[in-house]
């Protein structure tokens, strides 16, 4: 046989045809195996979709099992990421915004650094001057499982003193309960749930796949196969519209009446009044890839009327053997409508935000969860002490150093001012009634 011949005795006329035939055979075998694998994936995802339909469009057991395992894998995680804005709003930033974060179970720490262009100062009409300068800011946030800390270190000329705000997340009646106080957008773009509002931190136990979070308060309306991937569509609560519904527009008008021009303020109030009439829901469609542990490789969000709000396209996926999950190194979020007004951008423009993962670790960073701002002069807005619950806005403000007696004094001062306003108001009413009665008597 030709394989038994010494290599030096084989002529080129014998070797080349044999090599070509072997190479062609291997190529055909690889193609056949690839086709077979694709057929298997399609049949498997079709079976999952059929099983989902039979079980009332609940998430297939195999998919839920994989996503539950990923939730355990995400229990401890540190990242560094950047955010770059293109299109609408891009001129406001001179450099990518950077994020660093550590999450361990229900606790987290976040630091954000940004460089943006802002107006030098407001004019006497409330409008900002055309002259702008670069503003470099650092913001921090930390959650210890009970209290949310939001801090801004001293940064001249904008922040003359450090500012620390403390929120008790269980106080869901607080005005800020549904406000977006913590911003860490990489996780959302990567298909991972991270709480940004105090109300969402009440039951937060750790990072989890976004789809699992969606299906806590809703169910999958449809599950289908799409070229070997799994398409899941559902209608989920809209936290932003829920926040808008709680807004007191009369109080909002009083707050900004002396700051904004009348036309601008009226436009804002009209916008929020329109949003308050919308159902606090949005339609979400995600595409899951079985070959990446059912990671979300595409996501769309629409209004209940079907108008598309945004598209998310993660890419450059990388597998991390320990703990065993896929993460995108890059995610592009395209906003087709304003996230504030939910109306289309002017001139058919779009806003594009690019999120890039720079570093990720899955071990303990020994982070202290909680912000310690102890320098004298630090301005503190505290919503955690019992005295704060007696105030209309659920907060007390003071400067460090402060003791427990200082808190009581601040609470008493606020209460006394409130009582004084009531007394003055009642006196005015009595004076008006007395004057009215006197005029009637004279008549």
CA 309-310-311 angle, 5° bins: 145
181 part of a folded domain: yes
**How much is the mean pLDDT over the chain?**
81
Q: In this structure, are residues 192 and 207 in contact, taking their beta carbons and an 8 Å threshold?
A: yes
Nearest CA to 113 among 134, 80, 137?
137
Say whether both 129 and 35 belong to one domain: no
End of a domain among 361, 379, 394? 361
Residue 278 DSSP class: S
Same domain for 24 and 129, yes or no, is no
Residues 133 and 172 in one domain: yes
Shared domain check, 48 and 11:
yes
What pLDDT score does 51 carry?
A: 46
Residue with tokens 């179970």: 105
The answer to whether the CB of 373 falls within 8 A of the CB of 152 is: no
pLDDT higher than threshold 60 for residue 48: no
The verdict on 95 and 140 lying in the same domain is yes
Residues 209 and 175 in one domain: yes
Query: Which of the two residues, 417 and 300, has the higher pLDDT score?
Result: 300
Per-residue pLDDT at 178: 86
Closest by Cα among 164, 136, 129 to 148? 164
102-159 pLDDT, tens digit per residue, is 999 999 999 999 998 775 554 444 444 556 678 889 999 999 999 999 999 998 878 8
**Is residue 182 domain-resident?**
yes
Of the two residues 31 and 122, the one the predictor is more confident about is: 31
Whether residues 66 and 48 fall in one domain:
no
Q: Is the pLDDT of residue 212 over 90?
A: yes
Look at 23-27, 130-134, 304-308, 410-414 and tell me which has the smallest mean pLDDT.
Answer: 410-414
pLDDT of residue 84: 96
Angle, CA 202 vertex, CA 198 and CA 206 arms, to 5° = 100
Q: What predicted TM-score, i.e. pTM, was given to this entire model? A: 0.75
User: Can you give the pLDDT at residue 331?
Assistant: 98
45/101 same-domain check: no
Q: How confident is the model at residue 438 (pLDDT cuts 50, 70, 90)?
A: very low
pLDDT at res. 361? 94
Mean pLDDT in residue range 244-260: 89
What local confidence, expressed as pLDDT, does residue 156 receive? Answer: 80
Question: Which H or E run includes 78?
Answer: strand 76-87
Q: Are residues 107 and 22 in the same domain?
A: no
Domain assignment of residue 47, yes or no:
yes
**Cα–Cα dist 58/64, whole Å:** 10
Whole-number pLDDT of residue 435: 45
Residue 346 lies in a domain: yes
Tokens of 141: 């946030």
The answer to whether position 342 is within a domain reads: yes
Under 8 Å between Cβ of 42 and 34: no
**pLDDT for 424:** 54
The tally of CA atoms less than 13 A away on the side-chain side of residue 22 is: 6
Q: Is pLDDT above 70 for 229?
A: yes
CA distances to 168, 308, 420 from 412, in Å:
21, 50, 12
Please tell me whether residues 13 and 142 are part of one structural domain: no
**Domain-terminating residue out of 361, 385, 416:** 361
Q: Tell me what pLDDT residue 126 has.
A: 47
Q: What share of the chain is helix, strand, coil (3-state, %, to 5)?
A: 35, 35, 30
Percent over 90 (pLDDT), the chain: 54
Q: Give the residue, 28 or 75, on which the prediction is more confident.
A: 75
Domain count, the chain: 2
In a domain, 134, yes or no: yes
Q: What is the pLDDT of residues 373-425, one digit of tens each?
A: 988 899 999 999 888 888 888 889 999 975 555 555 655 555 555 445 444 54
Q: What's the pLDDT score for residue 2?
A: 36
Confidence band, pLDDT 50/70/90 cuts, at residue 442: very low
Domain boundary at 307, 334, 361, which? 361
One domain, residues 206 and 313: yes
Radius of gyration of the chain (CA): 30
Residue 157 is assigned to a structural domain of this protein: yes
* Alpha carbon distance, N-terminus to C-terminus of the chain: 133
Q: What is the CATH number of the domain that holds 177?
A: 2.50.20
Q: Is 105 helix (H, G, I), strand (E, B) or coil?
A: coil
238 Cβ contact list (under 8 Å, min separation 6): 280, 281, 282
Alpha-carbon gap, residue 425 to 62, rounded angstroms: 65
Task: Tell me, yes or no, whether 408 lies in a domain.
Answer: no
Q: Which of 141, 140, 121 has its CA nearest to residue 131? A: 121
**What's the confidence (pLDDT) of residue 251?**
87
- Does the structure show a pLDDT above 80 at 164? yes
Contact 216, 234 (CB under 8 A): no
Residue 27's domain spans which residues?
2-54
Asked whether residue 87 falls in the same domain as residue 225, the answer is yes
Average pLDDT over residues 283-298: 96
**At 28, is the pLDDT very low, low, confident or very high (cuts 50, 70, 90)?**
low
How high is the pLDDT of residue 3?
A: 39
pLDDT of residue 30: 66
CA distance 95 to 360: 22
pLDDT score for 57:
53
Q: Which two tokens stand for residue 331?
A: 């995610």
């Amino acid at each position: 046989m030709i394989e038994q011949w010494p290599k030096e005795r084989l002529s080129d006329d014998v070797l080349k045809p044999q090599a070509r035939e072997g190479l062609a055979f291997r190529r055909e075998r690889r193609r056949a195996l690839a086709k077979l694998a694709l057929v298997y994936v399609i049949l498997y995802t079709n079976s999952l979709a059929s099983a989902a339909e039979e079980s009332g469009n609940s998430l297939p057991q195999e998919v839920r099992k994989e996503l539950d395992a990923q939730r355990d894998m995400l229990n401890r995680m540190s990242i560094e990421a950047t955010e770059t804005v293109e299109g609408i709003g891009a001129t406001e930033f001179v450099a990518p915004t950077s994020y660093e974060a550590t999450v361990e179970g229900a606790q987290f720490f976040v630091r954000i650094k940004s460089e943006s262009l802002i107006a030098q100062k407001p004019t006497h009409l409330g409008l900002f001057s055309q002259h702008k300068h670069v503003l470099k800011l650092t913001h921090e946030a930390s959650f210890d499982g009970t209290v949310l800390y939001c801090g801004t270190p001293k940064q001249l000329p904008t922040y003359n003193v450090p500012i620390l705000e403390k929120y008790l997340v269980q106080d869901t009646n607080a005005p800020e309960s549904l406000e977006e106080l913590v911003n860490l957008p990489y996780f959302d773009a990567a298909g991972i749930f991270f709480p940004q509002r105090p109300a969402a931190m009440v039951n937060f136990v750790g990072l989890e796949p976004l789809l699992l979070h969606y299906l806590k308060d809703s169910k999958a309306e449809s599950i289908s196969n799409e070229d070997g991937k799994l398409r899941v569509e559902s209608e989920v609560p809209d936290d932003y519209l829920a926040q808008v519904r709680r807004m007191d527009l009369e109080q909002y008008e009083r707050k900004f009446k002396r700051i904004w021009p009348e036309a601008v303020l009226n436009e804002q109030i009209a916008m929020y009044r329109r949003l308050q009439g919308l159902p606090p829901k949005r339609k979400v469609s995600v595409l899951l890839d079985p070959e990446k542990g059912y990671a979300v490789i595409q996501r769309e969000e629409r209004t209940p009327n079907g108008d598309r709000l945004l598209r998310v396209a993660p890419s450059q996926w990388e597998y991390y053997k320990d703990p065993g999950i896929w993460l995108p190194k890059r995610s592009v979020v395209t906003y087709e409508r304003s996230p504030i007004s939910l109306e289309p951008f002017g001139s058919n423009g779009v806003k594009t935000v690019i999120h890039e993962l720079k570093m990720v670790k899955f071990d303990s960073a020994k982070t202290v969860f909680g912000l310690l701002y102890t320098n004298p002069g630090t301005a503190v807005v505290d919503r955690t002490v019992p005295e704060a619950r007696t105030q209309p806005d659920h907060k007390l403000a003071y400067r460090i150093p402060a003791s427990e007696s200082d808190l009581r004094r601040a609470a008493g001062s606020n209460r006394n001012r409130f009582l004084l306003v009531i007394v003055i108001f009642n006196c005015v009413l009595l004076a008006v009634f007395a004057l009215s009665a006197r005029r009637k008597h004279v008549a």
